[in-house]
Chains A and B, each alone.
Chain A
Amino acid sequence: MNPEQDVLAALRALADADRAKEAAPHVEVKLRRALHGKERERRLKRIAVWAMAAAAVLVAILSTYERRPRQEKAHVDPKAVAPLSVSQPVPVIANPERRIPRVRRTVPREIVTDFFPLVDVAPPVERGELVRVSVPATAMQAVGLPVREDRLSDRVQADVLVSEEGLATAIRFVKYSQ
């Protein structure tokens, strides 16, 4: 035999002698315990993530609900209600009371007209409620606002001012601008 073969034979003998050697059983026990702990930790993390996601959804829903435009309690100065016979151009003002929801930046801005009385002798209205309704465009014509003939059948949005007694006392019209 040459020296290299001798070395290889010696190494084979060592390899054979070691072939059955293994780590002691306690190593496996420790590792299985570690795996078990890790799995439990992973399960807890998963639960925590789901809980956080659910909480986030809940917060989002609640905040959206909070931001939804509500029917407003309006303080109306009766003197500010325009006379029924008005025929001059109607000044259109932006309603400062209406909040634009932060999450809906693309929602068009509302522009409202002055109030037009719906009764001949309007009782003084200290407190009332605004109710958003959809009315035919002829209602605008009825209060003297100019409406094109071909749009008379369109429906328009309006806020009706209802007094505490439940009497509809005035109306204003709403249009949207981008």
Chain B
Amino acid sequence: MVQTSDHDLLNRMLAGDEDAFTLLYRQRQGAVYRFALQMTGSVVIAEDVTQEVFMTLIEHGRRFDPARGALASFLYGIARNCVLRRLEKDRWADAELEDSAGEDDLLEDLTRRETIDQVRRAVLSLPATYREAVVLCDLQDVCYQDAADVLGCPVGTVRSRLNRGRAMLARKLKVRAATAGAGESVA
């Protein structure tokens, strides 16, 4: 079966082809949703963001320029703006996450082998600047160049934010204690 490119699907969608939209949505919504979920920790916000991203695509899809990057990066860019707006709006929620991600609690939880949730909490407790680099590069497997396009900064900045974010995560997870739990979970 011939794989239709994102750009072709987008063009067809903009011409009113609903099937093309459905195909494009099904191919790309997962990444957008997971990005929003990992950035906010909220299923509700992640769904809102996903909806907003694709509504923006429906309304302003013609602004996409394939010469400036892949459609996936374009969608991440829109999602990032939506997420940052939501984080700004819901600062209290961020603070709540920060509180609940205290290192002592983490260690205790990790010993109860709730590794995944604790890693998620640790990621959510990172400042947004480092969180988005970690989410894009380590959780979404986006390459540094695409991440730089999404974040609007040089590749070097992405690398340094990523290193800093990982170091902060290591501290938060009390790495040595977490090793066993994370290792088991991965295995």
Q: Within 8 Å CB of A1, what residues of B? A: 179
Name the segment of B65-73, B90-98, B116-124, B145-153 touching the other chain.
B116-124
A9 with B182: in contact, given A28-B25, A34-B55 (CB under 8 Å)?
Answer: yes
Q: Does A52 belong to the interface (CB within 8 Å)?
A: no
Write out the residue numbers on chain A whose beta carbons fall within 8 Å of the beta carbon of B139. Answer: 11, 14-15, 18
Within the complex, what minimum Cβ distance (angstroms) separates A11 from chain B?
Answer: 4
Contact size range, A: 20 to 34
Tally of B interface residues using CB under 8 Å: 46
Interface code A21-42, partner B: CB below 8 Å = 1, 0 otherwise?
1111001101110111011001
Complex Cα spacing A32 to B22, Å = 8
Evaluate contact between B182 and A38: CB separation under 8 angstroms.
no
- Determine the chain A residues whose CB is within 8 A of the CB of B186 once the complex forms: 9-10, 12-13, 16
Interface centre among A7, A8, A12, A16 (most CB of B within 10 A): A7
Could you count the A-B residue pairs with CB atoms below 8 Å apart for me: how many are there? Answer: 112
Determine the distance from Cα of A38 to Cα of B183 in the docked complex, in whole angstroms.
49
The secondary structure that dominates the B interface is helix
Residues of A within 8 A of B51 (CB): 23, 27, 30-31
Q: Which of A13, A27, A34, A43 contacts B185 (CB 8 A)?
A: A13
Bound CA span A10–B182, Å: 5
Docked CA distance A9–B120 (Å): 13
Q: Say yes or no: is A89 at the interface (Cβ < 8 Å to chain B).
A: no
A96 at the interface (CB under 8 A from B): no
Nearest CB in chain A: distance from B130 CB, A: 12
A34 to B59, CA, bound (A): 10
* Residue of A6, A17, A24 with most chain B CB atoms under a 10 A cut-off: A6
Q: In the bound complex, do residue A27 and residue B50 qualify as a contact, i.e. CB atoms below 8 Å apart?
A: yes
Which residues between 11 and 67 of chain B lie within 8 Å of chain A, taking CB atoms? 13, 16, 18, 21-22, 25-26, 29-30, 32-34, 37-38, 46-47, 50-51, 54-55, 58-59
Which B residues lie within 8 Å of A43 (CB)?
16
Cβ of B61 to closest chain A Cβ, rounded Å: 11
- Segment touching A, from B2-10, B81-89, B165-173: B165-173
User: Which of B29, B33, B54, B173 lies in contact with A10, CB distance below 8 A?
Assistant: B173
Q: How far is the CA of A41 from the CA of B51 in the complex (A)?
A: 20
Does B158 reach chain A (CB closer than 8 Å)?
no
Q: Chain B: residues with CB nearer than 8 A to chain A?
A: 13, 16, 18, 21-22, 25-26, 29-30, 32-34, 37-38, 46-47, 50-51, 54-55, 58-59, 115-116, 119-120, 122-123, 134, 138-141, 166-167, 169-170, 173, 175-176, 178-179, 182-183, 185-186
